[in-house]
Amino acid sequence: MDLLKRYIPVLFLLGLVIGIQLMTHFTGTGYYLTQLTMSAYYSVVVIGLCVLMGYGGQISLGHAGFFAIGGYLAGALTTHNLMPFKDYGLITFLDRTGMLVASKDLYGGDLLTVEPWAACITAVLAAGIIAFTIGGPVLKLKGHYLAMATLGFGIIIYRIGLATQYFGEADGISEVPGFKLLPGIEVSGSFGARVLNYYIAWAVVIVAVILLLNLIHSRVGRALRSIHGAEEAANAMGVNTSRYKLYIFVLSAVFAALAGVLVTHYNGGIGPSEAGVMKSVRYVAIVAVGGMANIWGALIMGIVLNFLSLRGVFGSYDDAVFGIILIVIMLFAPQGILKINPWQQVKSFFSVLAAERGEDTADS
Amino acid sequence: MTPELFIQYLFAGITYGIIYAIVAIGFNIIYNTTGIINFAQGEFVMLGGMIAITMNAFMPMTLAIMVAVLITMVVGALIEMVFIRWLESPSVLRMIIITIGISILAREVALHIWGESVRALPYFIGNEVTSVSILGARISPQVLWVIGVCSLMVAGLSLFFKFTSLGREMRACAANRRAATLCGINTKNMVTLSFVLSAGIGAVAGCVMSPITYSDYSMGPNLAIKGFTVAILGGLGNSLAAVAAGLLLGIIEAFSVSVLPLAFQDAIATAILLLILFIRPHGLFGSSEAASLKEF
């Protein structure tokens, strides 16, 4: 019964995804699918961060960094030509084991690049390992220090992307090839594959959501919530707080990196702006609007806000909109906008007023 | 490295270092009275510089700077009154997100007022090529202005906190807010005052540094990160240690340019920040016992 309750929204989402595709098909607005695909990938980052922030209570202002690690590594590995190094032992070994693919470039030259699957696994693994390494010391910190440390991590990744020739410096990496998941199923930005890619992206989202829903209803989820509630108390009750915090940090980093890999293949490139601080802040803003400990809220807000932003609805006020959202939500509705109960707000406002008046009369 | 070059780097380091120290002191003033790290601290420096540049078109520079500092102080007070004053014991996470939002908002407003172009105040004395010779190195007089004005501010603030009754009230507020309230200090006003004060010193720093470092709408976050690094390095809340830490970071950065590519310069400060947070979160000069009692 409980399981059914958990999965009904997932089925509803599935129906919605198919419904929207059909609707765009019949109204001839297929171009919306491109932004919906992108929003879906960004939402994977958001729901990962949601579990870290909302359930684990650990803020991260560096998740664009993990996104960028995934995207940049996948992009660089599948784009840079290894032909000149063909005679090195390692490259020959990789070639023999099928980790490399040979192809022709635009001018008919020979190209030897890393197979996207191998690149994807490398990139996601790298992000996981980096998260595991820095997670130990970073997650010992709390509050402002944790925020600044993760922010600092994001800045370092941004700077590395901007200053390293291998990652294309300020231009980023372009002409990243498509990612053949299975024969006939390819993540790429080509026009004909738009509908297919829409479904790939949403399949990824749905799998991610199911995974996280199960996680937060498991022993791990309960442990995380106890950490959020009171870390010392959780510790005293025998919850290994530092281990759970680290697990969830690594998991959310892996989600971000995976999204980075897929977006890079879908867009055919990645630039340093994807690693920028503003991106990380944006993810945090979306989680906050969604209501922190609310995967569905984060997902809905992630799709809506990213879609509007990608469509250019906010124009040159794009960043300002996210800034205002952050402030307004945190000032008036720290539980997220899906939890607002206007009547309750009005009532509590008047009760505060009444209490103040009562105090005043008591004083005089 | 020749001695002249060494002196040259040293002065560049001190110039930046003292600016970082001023930003760090801005952090400290607000942190001491509220326990909040104001992520929008760098925006005060930006606002000070940008407003002064705009005002300079209509009035003499001294007046323009004074007006700019005043306006920034008013902005600081408004930010506190609108966003912070009426919140009842907000969580740290909430305050972090709110101040980040304020910093984004301030930056976006600045972008729409002044655009993306980089501007600068004219040099206070002479121009770009005027220089004085110190131990064989050629130093711009503006560098001396920065060092002088910032040192004066640090000294003035120490005196203010030590000897004036207002300064003492603010320190009482920092030491124990409830006790301060019981002694008849209006703690809410002290918090507003701390925002005004840190906006003011940020704006002054933004004006004196503008001729050498230039001002643009996006300079805030970078300064805030450096300032925070310095504040942590010296031990959060300790303003004199922040000066020492600021000079240290400025000099490390200045000399790093001779070894590493320029693009990595900002990464150095960040790496130092991470290192300090991991190894000595109570700062180089702070005590770990005192730090463990504080709420971050």
Q: What is the DSSP string of A206-266?
A: HHHHHHHHHHHTSHHHHHHHHHHH-HHHHHHTT--HHHHHHHHHHHHHHHHHHHHHHHHHH
Contacting A residues, span 268-297, partner chain B, CB-CB under 8 Å: 277-278, 281, 284-285, 288
H/E run at residue A180: strand A179-182
Residue contact A284–B295, C-beta within 8 A: no
Show residues of chain B in contact with A142, CB under 8 Å. 92, 296
Decide if A136 contacts A46 (C-beta within 8 A): no
Residue contact B296–A284, C-beta within 8 A: no
**Is it the case that residue B91 has pLDDT exceeding 60?**
yes
Query: Which of A167, A322, A327, A349 to mutate to test binding with chain B, by most B CBs within 10 Å of its CB?
Result: A327
Rg (CA), chain B: 19
Residue contact B101–A316, C-beta within 8 A: no
What is the average pLDDT across B44-70?
Answer: 94
Q: Would an 8 Å CB–CB cutoff place B152 in contact with chain A? A: no
What is the average pLDDT across B238-244?
Answer: 86
Decide if B173 contacts B33 (C-beta within 8 A): yes
Instruction: Give SS3 for A185.
Output: strand
Show residues of chain B in contact with A167, CB under 8 Å. none
Amino acid residing at B61:
M
What is the average pLDDT across B43-55?
Answer: 94
**Is it the case that residue B178 has pLDDT exceeding 70?**
yes
Confidence band (pLDDT; 50, 70, 90) for B45?
A: very high
Residue contact B274–A156, C-beta within 8 A: yes
**Is it the case that residue B189 has pLDDT exceeding 80?**
yes
For chain A, the farthest-separated pair of C-alpha atoms sits apart, in whole angstroms, at: 92
Q: What percent of chain B has pLDDT over 70?
A: 96
- Residue-number span of the structural domain to which B140 is assigned: 3-293
Q: Which two tokens stand for residue A99?
A: 């980790």
Amino acid residing at A196:
L
Residue among B143, B144, B118, B141 at smallest CA distance from B50 = B118
Residue contact A143–B96, C-beta within 8 A: yes
Cα(A280)–Cα(B169) distance, rounded to whole angstroms? 39
What distance in Å separates residue B293's CA from the closest CA in chain A? 13
Give the E-state strand segments of B16-60 in sequence order: none
- Residue with the bigger pLDDT between B257 and A127: it is A127
Residue contact B263–A330, C-beta within 8 A: no
What per-residue confidence (pLDDT) applies to A363? 43
Kindly list the distances between the CA atom of residue B160 and the CA atoms of A21, A55, A252, in Å, as whole numbers in the listed order: 66, 45, 47
Amino acid residing at A334:
P
**Is it the case that residue A362 has pLDDT exceeding 50?**
no
Q: How many domains does chain B have?
A: 1
Cα(B287)–Cα(B152) distance, rounded to whole angstroms? 28
Question: What are the residue ranges spanned by the domains of chain A?
Answer: 32-83+111-332
Nearest to A334 among B94, B100, B277 (CB): B94
Q: What percent of chain A has pLDDT over 70?
A: 91
A51-60, B175-184, B253-262: which range is least confident on average?
B253-262
Confidence band (pLDDT; 50, 70, 90) for A99?
A: confident
Kindly list the distances between the CA atom of residue A270 and the CA atoms of A65, A76, A171, in Å, as whole numbers in the listed order: 13, 10, 9
Instruction: Give the highest mean pLDDT range of A107-121, A151-165, B278-292.
Output: A151-165
Residue contact A330–B92, C-beta within 8 A: no
What is the average pLDDT across B31-59?
Answer: 91
Confidence band (pLDDT; 50, 70, 90) for A352?
A: low
Q: What is the pTM of this model?
A: 0.86
The string of pLDDT tens digits covering residues B201-217 is: 999 999 999 998 889 99
Cα(A162)–Cα(A152) distance, rounded to whole angstroms? 15
**Is it the case that residue A37 has pLDDT exceeding 90?**
yes
Show residues of chain B in contact with A316, CB under 8 Å. 112
A89-98, A248-257, A262-271, A341-350: which range is least confident on average?
A341-350
Beta bridge partners of B138: B133
Decide if A66 contacts A131 (C-beta within 8 A): yes
Residue contact B270–A159, C-beta within 8 A: yes
Question: What is the CATH classification number for the domain harbouring B267?
Answer: 1.10.3470
Q: Which two tokens stand for residue A361?
A: 């009369």
Show residues of chain B in contact with A355, CB under 8 Å. none
The string of pLDDT tens digits covering residues A5-17 is: 778 888 889 999 9
Show residues of chain A in contact with B292, CB under 8 Å. none
Nearest to B105 among A59, A316, A327 (CB): A327
Amino acid residing at B140:
S
A213-227, B13-27, B163-177, B260-274: which range is least confident on average?
B260-274
What per-residue confidence (pLDDT) applies to A364? 39
Q: Which pairs count as long-range contacts for B114-120, CB under 8 Å and 24+ apart, including other chains?
A: B114/B50, B114/B54, B114/B216, B114/B217, B115/B217, B116/B216, B116/B217, B116/B218, B117/B216, B118/B214, B118/B215, B118/B216, B119/B50, B119/B53, B119/B210, B119/B214, B119/B215, B119/B216, B120/B53, B120/B210, B120/B211, B120/B214, B120/B215
Cα(B191)–Cα(B170) distance, rounded to whole angstroms? 8
- Residue B139 φ/ψ, nearest 5 degrees: -120, 135
Query: DSSP code of A187?
Result: E
What distance in Å separates residue B136's CA from the closest CA in chain A? 34
Residue contact B83–A327, C-beta within 8 A: yes
Q: How would you label A312-341 residue by residue, b for 16+ Cβ within 10 Å and e otherwise?
A: eeeeeebbbbbbbbbbebbbebbebbeeee
> Dihedral angle at the C-alpha atoms of A149, A150, A154, A159, nearest 10 degrees?
10
Please give the interface size between A and B, counted as residue pairs whose CB atoms are below 8 Å apart: 114
Residue contact B277–A145, C-beta within 8 A: yes
- ipTM value, please give it: 0.84
What is the average pLDDT across A181-201?
Answer: 86
What is the average pLDDT across A193-214?
Answer: 92
Nearest to B296 among A144, A281, A322 (CB): A144
Cβ-based burial of A55 (10 A; exposed 0-12, middle 13-18, buried ≥19):
buried
Residue contact A331–B264, C-beta within 8 A: no
Q: Count CB atoms within 10 A of the CB of residue B150.
A: 26
What is the average pLDDT across A40-69?
Answer: 92
Residue contact A149–B102, C-beta within 8 A: no
**Is it the case that residue B53 has pLDDT exceeding 80?**
yes
Its CATH architecture, for the domain A32-83+111-332, is Orthogonal Bundle (1.10)
Residue contact B267–A160, C-beta within 8 A: yes
Q: Can you say whether residue A169 is alpha, beta or left, with left for phi > 0 and alpha for psi between -120 and 50 degrees?
A: left
Computed over every residue of chain A, the mean pLDDT equals 85
What distance in Å separates residue B231's CA from the closest CA in chain A? 11
